[in-house]
C-alpha cells in the first residue's frame, strides 16, 4: 500500500521554519504571516512539479477528485505515479527556504 503525503500543520511549520528562516525573534502573528506566504509558494511549486511528473491520463481523474475535495485520493494517485514524491517535496521545500533566506539577506544588504 502506498504511503500518503502528510501535510504539516501550521504549528509544525512554525517550529520547523522559525529557526531556519531566522524569524524566531518575531511575534507569532508575524511568523504566521511569513510562514503562510512561504507555505503558499511551496505548495504552488509542489503542485506544478507533481503535475509535470504525472502521466496525462490521470489529470481528468485528479480534476474530478479536486472538485470533490478528496485530498487523500489525490495523494494516493500522486504517490502511485511519483514514488519519490516525499523526496521531491522535501527538495522543493529546502530550495524555497534557501531562496527566501537569500532574498532576505539581499534585501537587508540594500537597506
pLDDT digits (tens, 9 = 90+) for 29-48: 998 888 888 888 988 999 89
DSSP 8-state code for residue 54: S
The string of pLDDT tens digits covering residues 47-65 is: 899 999 999 999 999 999 9
Q: What is the dihedral of CA 6, 10, 12, 16, to 10 degrees?
A: 110
Interatomic CA distance for residues 58 and 51, integer angstroms: 10
Q: Where are the domains of the chain?
A: 10-109
Predicted structure pTM score: 0.77
How sure is the predictor about 8, in pLDDT bands with cuts at 50, 70 and 90? low
Amino acid at each position: 500500500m502506498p504511503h500518503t503525503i502528510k501535510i504539516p500543520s501550521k504549528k509544525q511549520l512554525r517550529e520547523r521554519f522559525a529557526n531556519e528562516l531566522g524569524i524566531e525573534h518575531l511575534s507569532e502573528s508575524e511568523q504566521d504571516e511569513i510562514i503562510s506566504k512561504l507555505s503558499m509558494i511551496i505548495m504552488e511549486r509542489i503542485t506544478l512539479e507533481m503535475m509535470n511528473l504525472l502521466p496525462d491520463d490521470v489529470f481528468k481523474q485528479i480534476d474530478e477528485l479536486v472538485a470533490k475535495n478528496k485530498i487523500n485520493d489525490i495523494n494516493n494517485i500522486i504517490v502511485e505515479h511519483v514514488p519519490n514524491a516525499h523526496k521531491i517535496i522535501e527538495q522543493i521545500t529546502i530550495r524555497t527556504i534557501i531562496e527566501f533566506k537569500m532574498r532576505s539577506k539581499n534585501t537587508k544588504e540594500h537597506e
